[in-house]
Amino acid sequence: MVSTSTLPTSTDQEFGYGQLFQILLRRWPWIIASLGVATAGAVFVSLRQEPIYRSNMQLLVEPNYQQELNSSDLSSFADQDPRDADYATQLALMRSGQFLQEAVDVLRTDYPEITVDELRAGFTLARLSEGRTGTRIFQASYTANDPTQPQRVLAALQDIYLNYNQEQQAQRLSRGLDNVNNRLANTQQNLRDSQSALEQFRINQNLIDPNSQAISVVESLNQVQTQQQQLMVELSGLEQQYATLEQQLNLSPQSGVIAARLSQSPRIQSLLNSLQEAELALADRQILFTDEDPNVQVLKQQRENQLAQLRAEISAISRQNVTELDPTLLSYLQLGGIDFGLVSQILEADVTLESLEARMETLASLESILRDEVNRYPSLMAEYDRLQPAVDTERSTLQELLIQREQISAELSRGGFSWEVVEPPLPGQRIGPDPVRPLALGIVAGLFVGGALAFGVESIDQRVRTSDELKKQVPLPLLGMLPRRPSSLPPLRRSEPDARGLHPELADSDLMKTVMWPQFRDSLDLIANNLQLLQNSHPSKAIAITSALPGEGKTTLTLGLAFSLARMGQRVLVIDADLRRSGIQAGLGLVAEQGLSGLLTGEPAQNRPHRLDFGSVFVDVLPAGPIPDDPISLLSSPRFRQLLARGKERYDLILVDTTPLIGMADALKVGAVCDSTVLVTRLDRITQSQLTEAMSLLTHLNVMGLIANGARQSPSRYVYDSLPSADGQRLPAGASS
């Protein structure tokens, strides 16, 4: 009996380059992902890096006194200035912080966060040379991330340099012109005072030139007097016309206006007509009747009403309270056409007369104002004649002093240095950054991080991936390795010898395609051969095939191993003891109402094995049958033991497909009844802890060995591992190289 306690354990192998290469090859997605992320990050950083721009400006720095140099001295000017012109001092001066601070103040509007340190970091200034000969040209450069900032910074420094040079020239001139400047300042102050006094005089007196304005006032006074004489003549003739019209009309202008309004009112004329009609009707009635006659009373009342309405209308038009209609007022109500004409004439004459009288008053007031203005001009003219000559004198003196200063300035300006712009700053040209450097760093970092991640994931990944790891973890002989099944397999050809007896639907199933796959079949032949070698020393006619987890290929292995053993002349029976989820029954499309569960419940006649005819060989398969309510009770029943005993009498070998080990006791029950057990494990899926748990469950069973499923190696490269034989020698058992 072979148990896990008697099996040798494999020794640990040293870590070598092969294992390192396998880890890197196995974890290549992590390395590629890390490399991709690092490269993408490097590209992102490269794209996000702000470009660097630079702009240049050239200044000519030369002494102002070079015209006085002799031609013999010009040859040595580049090395040593005859007037000790210290170009190093000029460089230090132009690099000083005062200019940079002024530039920062100028640029603060466009760049609020700019500082002197930032400006100094991007600013360079150097003297250009031709070979060993230094020139008089200084080149200023500035670099920044903004394409417009270098040009603006250099433009600001250009203005500051030129302004400073002009200020220094002005200071040099001002020191030699102190006397002239003092006199010039006094003269300018006197001129300002004189001009201010003259200006204040003009503002206070509201005049510009008293002489010309006095003549204008006298002319205006003469014009006013002439207009007064003309108005007096017009006023005399109009008064005579007014008296004549008033005499003809015998009405005042106010009464004439009221009479005109009353005579022209349609309402009043209508009331007068109605009143006359009422009086005529009353007179005619009184001829025949007395005052007590009712109709007479009605006519009287009607006349009184009309009189009241007439008085009310006259009061409204004349704006006076009229209580009685006297003859004078009645005469106003019936004016003729001539009367209307006289009223219009007298009204027009009255308006004209009032206008002329108002103009006479205006002219009299204006005459008084002009006479007062004429009387004050003599004193103003005397004050003006005193102020104006003082202004003229100071202005003439100022012009003479300015001429003197220009002459002295021409002499003093021939000294010091002159700074002139040779090449103004242009828009910044891009000079960086280099995109290759961050990309190379990203690739190196990606490879390093990817390798670290690969080893890190490898260290925490507990899955068993290779046969070497499997032999280290499990102290069982490795019976063989099954190749990893491709995602799709070609359909079986009916011309193949092993597929001639298969049903067409069965030949097209994925289970049979895998079993008949040549590489899979060759691997199974090696495993079948190893089993036969073990049978010589430890005969086992009933072998339980199980796995630690579902989906590790035990069902496919069971059917394929039965096919290989049948081709080697063995009579093989396959029993599907997975009563919970039958893989053989579903894979082969067998009837679910017939199978093992039916035999164990007492229906042997209807539950017989199905024969799979492969043309030259055949395999009997007993499916699981209907799913029972309590599978563990059926597998633990004496009927199952009896079934295996009868099967051993008829067949050379019985392969029992069971449930996975972890989580269920079915496989343990079947393994205890069978002669031995084979464990199937899928590489790259089962973990070390799961494998350890499965081995702990198999401690009390007779385990023949281990089969690795999902190997990456080609079957043509399989070699035999050593297995124990009956005489104690080691026999080949199938391992991957």
144, two tokens? 């920044």
Residue 263's pLDDT is 62
Rounded to the nearest 5 degrees, what angle is found at the Cα of 581, between the Cα atoms of 579 and 583?
105
Whether pLDDT at 405 is above 80: no
Cα-Cα-Cα-Cα dihedral sign, residues 102, 104, 110, 112: negative
Residue of 314, 320, 324 whose CA lies nearest to 261: 314
**340 neighbors 247 (Cβ within 8 angstroms):** no
Whether pLDDT at 609 is above 60: yes
**552 neighbors 682 (Cβ within 8 angstroms):** yes
Whether pLDDT at 598 is above 80: yes
Residue 720's pLDDT is 40
**78 neighbors 168 (Cβ within 8 angstroms):** no
DSSP 3-state percent helix, strand, coil across the chain (nearest 5): 60, 15, 30
Please indicate whether residue 423 or residue 311 has the higher confidence score (pLDDT): 423
Dump pLDDT digits (tens) for 623-648: 888 888 889 988 889 999 998 999 99
Residue 3's pLDDT is 42
Work out the percent of the chain whose per-residue pLDDT is above 90.
6
- What pLDDT band is residue 248 in, cutting at 50, 70 and 90? low
Rounded to the nearest 5 degrees, what angle is found at the Cα of 194, between the Cα atoms of 190 and 198?
170
Residue of 170, 94, 81, 175 whose CA lies nearest to 138: 94
Whether pLDDT at 68 is above 50: no
Dump pLDDT digits (tens) for 443-476: 888 777 777 776 776 666 667 777 777 787 788 8
φ, ψ of residue 503 to 5 degrees: the values are -65, 145
- Alpha-carbon gap, residue 646 to 56, rounded angstroms: 104
Residue of 161, 158, 159, 150 whose CA lies nearest to 121: 150
Residue 37's pLDDT is 81
Residue 725's pLDDT is 39
Q: Which long-range contacts (CB under 8 A, 24 or more apart) does 462-465 make?
A: 462/687, 462/688, 462/689, 463/684, 463/685, 463/686, 463/687, 463/688, 464/681, 464/683, 464/684, 464/686, 464/687, 464/688, 464/691, 465/26, 465/683, 465/684
Whether pLDDT at 176 is above 60: yes
Per-residue pLDDT, averaged over 299-320, amounts to 72
Residue 70's pLDDT is 44
Work out the percent of the chain whose per-residue pLDDT is above 70.
74
Cα diameter, the chain? 185
Whether pLDDT at 49 is above 90: no
Per-residue pLDDT, averaged over 188-215, amounts to 75
Task: Find the distance separating the first CA and the last CA of the chain, reported in whole Å.
Answer: 29
Question: 338-347, 478-487, 694-703: which has the highest mean pLDDT?
Answer: 694-703
Residue of 695, 308, 663 whose CA lies nearest to 464: 695
Mean pLDDT, the chain, as a whole number? 75
Residue of 674, 667, 637 whose CA lies nearest to 577: 667
Lowest mean per-residue pLDDT among 48-57, 606-615, 649-658: 606-615
Please indicate whether residue 411 or residue 11 has the higher confidence score (pLDDT): 411
HSE (side-chain half, CA atoms, 13 Å) at 185? 7
- What pLDDT band is residue 728 in, cutting at 50, 70 and 90? very low
Residue of 734, 703, 702 whose CA lies nearest to 719: 734
The DSSP H or E segment spanning 31 is: helix 28-48
Residue 76's pLDDT is 41
Residue 674's pLDDT is 92
**672 neighbors 636 (Cβ within 8 angstroms):** no
φ, ψ of residue 10 to 5 degrees: the values are -80, 145
- Alpha-carbon gap, residue 599 to 639, rounded angstroms: 8
The domain limits of the chain are: 19-48+433-460, 52-176, 216-379, 467-485+501-736
**525 neighbors 564 (Cβ within 8 angstroms):** yes
Lowest mean per-residue pLDDT among 58-72, 423-437, 574-588: 58-72
Whether pLDDT at 4 is above 50: no
Residue of 531, 501, 650, 457 whose CA lies nearest to 30: 457
Residue 421's pLDDT is 85
- Alpha-carbon gap, residue 355 to 185, rounded angstroms: 62
627, two tokens? 């799913």
- Alpha-carbon gap, residue 147 to 430, rounded angstroms: 8
Find out whether the peptide bond into 433 is cis, omega within 30 degrees of 0.
yes
- Alpha-carbon gap, residue 596 to 580, rounded angstroms: 12
610, two tokens? 């199905």
Please indicate whether residue 705 or residue 722 has the higher confidence score (pLDDT): 705
Q: In sequence order, what are the residues at sequence separation of 6 or more whose Cβ sits closer than 8 angstroms to the Cβ of residue 647?
A: 542, 573, 575, 654
Residue of 525, 553, 564, 511 whose CA lies nearest to 657: 553
Pairing relationship of beta strands 610-613 and 618-622 according to DSSP bridges? antiparallel
Per-residue pLDDT, averaged over 724-735, amounts to 38
Pairing relationship of beta strands 735-736 and 718-719 according to DSSP bridges? antiparallel
- Alpha-carbon gap, residue 333 to 259, rounded angstroms: 6
**34 neighbors 442 (Cβ within 8 angstroms):** no
Cα-Cα-Cα-Cα dihedral sign, residues 375, 381, 383, 384: positive
Dump pLDDT digits (tens) for 526-545: 888 888 888 777 788 899 99
**489 neighbors 513 (Cβ within 8 angstroms):** yes
Question: 184-188, 412-416, 709-713: which has the highest mean pLDDT?
Answer: 184-188
Residue of 554, 562, 640, 541 whose CA lies nearest to 597: 640
Residue 332's pLDDT is 55
Lowest mean per-residue pLDDT among 82-86, 159-163, 725-729: 725-729
Q: What architecture does CATH give domain 52-176?
A: 2-Layer Sandwich (3.30)
Residue 730's pLDDT is 41
Per-residue pLDDT, averaged over 664-689, amounts to 88
Whether pLDDT at 296 is above 80: no
User: Which segments of 140-207 does DSSP mark as H helices, in order?
Assistant: 149-176, 178-205
Dump pLDDT digits (tens) for 114-168: 898 988 888 999 888 887 788 888 899 999 888 888 989 999 999 998 888 888 7
- Alpha-carbon gap, residue 361 to 357, rounded angstroms: 6
- What pLDDT band is residue 733 in, cutting at 50, 70 and 90? very low
**116 neighbors 135 (Cβ within 8 angstroms):** no
Dump pLDDT digits (tens) for 497-512: 555 455 555 656 777 7
Which pTM was predicted? 0.46
Beta bridge partners of 478: 706
Torsional class of 429: left (φ above 0), alpha (ψ -120 to 50), beta (otherwise): beta
Residue 464's pLDDT is 74
Residue 328's pLDDT is 55
Cα-Cα-Cα-Cα dihedral sign, residues 326, 329, 334, 336: positive
- Alpha-carbon gap, residue 688 to 432, rounded angstroms: 54
CATH number attached to the domain at 467-485+501-736 = 3.40.50.300
- Alpha-carbon gap, residue 126 to 412, rounded angstroms: 30
HSE (side-chain half, CA atoms, 13 Å) at 361? 5
- What pLDDT band is residue 604 in, cutting at 50, 70 and 90? low
418, two tokens? 């002159």
- Alpha-carbon gap, residue 664 to 345, rounded angstroms: 139
Residue 727's pLDDT is 40
